[in-house]
Structure 1
Amino acid sequence: MSPVDLRLYGIIDPEWTGGRDPIELVRQAVAGGATLIQYRDKHAEGRRLVELGRALKAALEGTGVPLLVNDRIDIALATGADGVHLGQEDIHPRDARNLLGPHAIIGLTLKTPEQADVMVHLPVDYGCIGGVFATVSKNNPSPPIGLDGLRAIVARTKRGSRCPVGAIAGIDTSNAEAVIAAGADGIAVISAIFMAPDPQAEARRLRQMVDRALASRSVPA
């Protein structure tokens, strides 16, 4: 399995770019300090997904920042992405590992402590816990888990796994440090970066906050 840096995980969704070019927004996010990028698009058809996925992969060439695809293993394979992020109802992580190989990055959404217990036995590289706070960028029927819920799920993942765990939903400069203090190894953000007037500057602020919070926990940044 692959080591993965979750400190600043940018999720690019064409629906949440304010009409701007996703490729340029991703370049700015990485210049500001994003450590991982996920391409998420729930509406585009297959050919468009491949086209934009390949363009994103090309834009990240030479940066050292991996590209993951949300849900779609076929799109990850077609674009040469570095891996996938899976929800609880998506293809099973073991099947994803068989298809993508030992070096791909596979992430998994975690919403409950019980799911964290299961994750420690799966061939995944990280977990992403959420939704922590209310958000407008995803239709989430479950109520936010808050910082207390985040702490509980982090604790369960750390019992039997060395995989890093991030947090998602409603995270921005107002609460990023509190999320790291609650145990997350990084933050996953959508609108906080990609809807910001200056995505590079906002990514830089978030990355500095995460690094500072990790340092206060004595976690190498």
Structure 2
Amino acid sequence: MSVAIENFVKAIYKNDKNDGKNTKPGNIAKKLGISNAAATDMAKKLAIKDLLHYEKYQPLQLTKKGEKMALNVVRKHRLWEAFLFKTFDMSLHDIHREAELLEHETSDFLANKISDHLGNPKFDPHGDPIPNAEGEITTKDHSISLSETEEGKSYTISRLMSDDKEFFEFCAQNGLRYGNLIEVVKQFSTNKMTQLKINSNTIILNKDFTSIIYVNEIN
């Protein structure tokens, strides 16, 4: 399949599963940086290939065949992120950018070799789950956004849901990294801000950040 097709089904999958956004062609077009007409045309073509269900004015839905393709691309992307992060200590933004290119040039054979080399990781450095070779996500996600946390409780960072360079630079500078421990000091409900402590430092984040940083409560 072409890069354009793989990116299209991946965008539908991520919008549906991860980003909480609907999958109408206009939203997919915005995500991919293409025109609405191009997205609609692609959707009609992929419906003929049995990769998705298309109905005018309705969200796009992947078929089982389409979801399997999307998960295969996602698996390769996240394995490359894990490999680049571990091997070269690259930034979270850089590993995402490079994985966007490498995912389309990677055979299933090489993906399995990378996974074996890394010890078959369940998550990438952003905290996103890595599908297995059968296209299954075997982990359960019980995380909540930082904006939903409670004052006085401690959490571990489980996901950083962004591809923005400045966001990742800020996270790196302030110790906001997958697996790190944080303590929620105060929730400013009126101003939608969260004060937290990490590595003995206190920082305040607004809703733009707290809505894309996910955590798990420490029991």
- Given the two structures, how large is their TM-score scaled by the length of structure 2? 0.25
- Given the two structures, how large is their TM-score scaled by the length of structure 1? 0.25
Q: Hey, which of these two has a bigger chunk of helix by percent?
A: 2
Larger RCO (CA under 8 A, 6+ residues apart): 1
- Structure of higher CA gyration radius: 2
